[in-house]
Each structure stands twice: as C-alpha cells, then as structure tokens.
Structure 1
C-alpha cells in the first residue's frame, strides 16, 4: 500500500491550529548534568495508573540521555515564563546557568513558579515516526492554580482570554 504524499510544512502549519501548553522536560544525564528542552507535545495517558507522555525529536542530541534517565520532570510553564521557554528551545552552552531549580525525584530539575510539575519515572519509550514517545509514571505532582498557562498556537505564544457564554 502506498502512502499519500503530504506536504510536511503544510501539515505542520495545520497542526499549529491546535493550541497547546508549553513545558520544559528535564532529567539528569549519565554524567550527572541537568538537561532539558522545551516541548509542546505533552499529554495525559491514564489516570489509573497515572501516566503521561511527551515526545522528543529523534534528531535531538539529548535523546539517549533521556532514554537512560530514571526520571523526568515535566514543568508546565506559566504565562510569565516565556523567556524560560525560549531559553530551553535554543542551544546555549548551559541552559541551567543562573537559574533557580531544585532536585526532584531522580534528580530531575524542577523549576519554581510553574503552573504544574509532574515528576515521572521513565516507564517506556516507543518509536513514533521521526519522534520518540516517552511514557512516564507519575510519582509526584504539584499545581499552582493561580497561575495562567503559557500557550502556543499558529507559531506564536498566546495566553488565555476569558470567554463568557450566555
């Protein structure tokens, strides 16, 4: 069976019509150094047991470190953390330099002032086209209800607007 030809740029643009939250996923690499990157491919999988997933491009230089990490922290960013999102979406020498963070379960960096943080055991990794799908078993989580989430839609950062229904 032949696969239909899809324009990958047009496909990406269409996917961008789905508004997503922004997260920074962190872990400790085999040398004991913190690693992390910005993602918007994050989702709940199951309530019982508590499972979440996130996706990483197979071309990422951190792929093997994330595969071998015992734990990940998924830091859901607030609208006030756009600069943090940008920092972890680019490749500076040390993304963690000068940033406040604390060790979560398995040492995975947890950032302050996030909307929510999920500390997960690295349960499984599955091939998914040009990405790897990581499934994590939630061992701890925190939530700050008063913070608004940072969103991404159509290639731009966005924030929630209250919409009143009649």
Structure 2
C-alpha cells in the first residue's frame, strides 16, 4: 500500500537578473503544501543562506526527529509507559567532498522524555532501538542514526 505526498517549492530568489551570475540571485524559496502555512526557506548559512530561515538540512534533521518521536510515543503507549513530555535536540554531522557535494554522515537524537514515576527506564530506553525498523524517514536515509535519550521522572 503506497502513500503519496505533494508539495510545491517555488524559488523566490530572483533579484531581477535570474541566474545571470552566481552571485546575482538568492538561494531562497517557499514550501507550499496544500492547506498548510507557507514555509520560507534559504540555503545553509555556510553557503550564504539566511540563518533565520529553515534550510534543507534543518528540515531533514527535524523530520527524522519528529518521525522518531511519533513512533516512540506509539510504542510507549503500547507498552504502558506513560510519557508526559518529549523534546529533542538532535544534531547531525555533514561533510563536503570534492567538487562541493555534501552529505550527512551521522545523526544523533537526544530526546529528553518525561515519564511517570515508577516507569521501567530500561524498557523505556529499549523502545528507541526498535524505531529505526519502522520510521519512514529513518528507513529512507543512508547514514547511521544513534540515540542518546535522557529520562525525567514526573513527581
């Protein structure tokens, strides 16, 4: 069974001369998904992009983290583990090869998960290792993903 997704990406960086020269245009665009707010994006700041806007690398890392979170919450619920808070501060390492081609070489998710007092932390930790088998985004990338969870017990 297939799922389909659609998006509209519109370049907004034409300063009037198009791509007449490498520095003649901005690396900005809008993402427009039907029925959702438009997201204004830019290139990675290391490549001259606007640091105040999301870039493709931000979006990929955020999608990976969000997918992991949603599956974690699902599996925790199935296991009777009550999660009352979840936040993640993931990071990724990229490299740029010859000719300027870049890629992610690894990502680490660092979720901080609040659970009810008395939770079996070992069981709560083990869930992370099952998610890569089912997370749509994690299964779609070609770099290793590691997990460094921290748990907070709710009073």
Fold-level similarity (TM above 0.5):
no
TM-score normalised according to structure 1 size: 0.21
The higher radius of gyration belongs to 2
More helix by share: 2
More strand by share: 1
